[in-house]
């Protein structure tokens, strides 16, 4: 009898040693994943959707309405039952409310979740006399200095005091001046603006 009791205690201790670290590790992994998700740009509900972004939409207890949709170049998406919806220029919260409103005709009091699965629209462009001109995909806020560094810095012939940033808004193009020589001295730092989707930096 005592031998069986000793065996039972030993087995209990063994399984406790095996599973406790596994459960702890699983919890830490889930916590880490949640942290990454909450910190990323596309996890924020105030993120503004743009063409090329990939959205995931799900409706609680309606599996057939869980879809992955791409924002087309005209800014629209296509979704079952609803048809086309304008997505570009709207936040995640706004899109969720639009889905809820449109789906109410088919699903009583729908619980809708919307998130950005892929960010493909946060593009800026750096052209001119830099070492690696091109377009760059942003996944966080970037200012002009950071963008220039991403483009490999200036080549020897760059006119660093005559850089310009072109930004389209409301059908118009606004031009911002950027004097690297002054900013590198700690002056006129207000010129080092945070870039927005579609901004073009020109280094003459």
Q: How confident is the model over 109-119, as pLDDT tens digits?
A: 999 999 999 99
Summarised one tens digit per residue, pLDDT across range 126-147 is: 999 999 999 999 878 899 999 9
Q: Which H/E stretch holds residue 125?
A: strand 123-128
111 and 104 in contact (C-beta within 8 Å)?
A: no
The SS3 call for residue 85 is strand
Tell me, what's the pLDDT at 186? 93
Cβ neighbours for 167, distance < 8 A, ≥ 6 positions apart: 173, 174, 175, 176, 196, 198, 199, 200
Longest dimension (CA), the chain: 91
Domains of the chain with CATH codes: 43-118 (3.30.1950.10), 123-203 (3.10.560.10)
pTM: 0.67
44 and 92 in contact (C-beta within 8 Å)?
A: yes
Tell me, what's the pLDDT at 140? 81
Tell me, what's the pLDDT at 1? 52
């Amino acid at each position: 009898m005592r031998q069986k009791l000793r065996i039972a205690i030993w087995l209990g201790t063994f399984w406790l040693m095996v599973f406790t670290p596994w459960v702890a590790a699983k919890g830490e992994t889930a916590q880490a994943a949640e942290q990454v998700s909450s910190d990323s740009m596309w996890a924020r509900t105030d993120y503004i959707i743009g063409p090329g972004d990939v959205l995931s939409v799900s409706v609680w207890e309606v599996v057939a309405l869980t879809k992955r949709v791409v924002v087309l170049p005209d800014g629209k998406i296509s979704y079952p039952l609803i048809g086309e919806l304008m997505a570009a220029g709207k936040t995640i919260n706004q899109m969720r409310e639009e889905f809820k409103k449109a789906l109410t005709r088919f699903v009583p009091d729908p619980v809708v979740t919307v998130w950005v699965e892929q960010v493909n629209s946060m593009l800026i462009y750096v052209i001119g006399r830099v070492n690696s001109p091109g377009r760059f995909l942003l996944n966080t806020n970037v200012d002009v200095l950071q963008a220039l560094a991403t483009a490999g810095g200036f080549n020897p012939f760059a006119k660093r005091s005559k850089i310009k940033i072109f930004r389209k808004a409301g059908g118009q193009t606004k031009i911002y001046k950027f004097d690297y020589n002054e900013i590198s001295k700690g002056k006129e730092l207000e010129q080092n603006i945070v870039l927005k989707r579609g901004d073009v930096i020109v280094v003459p």
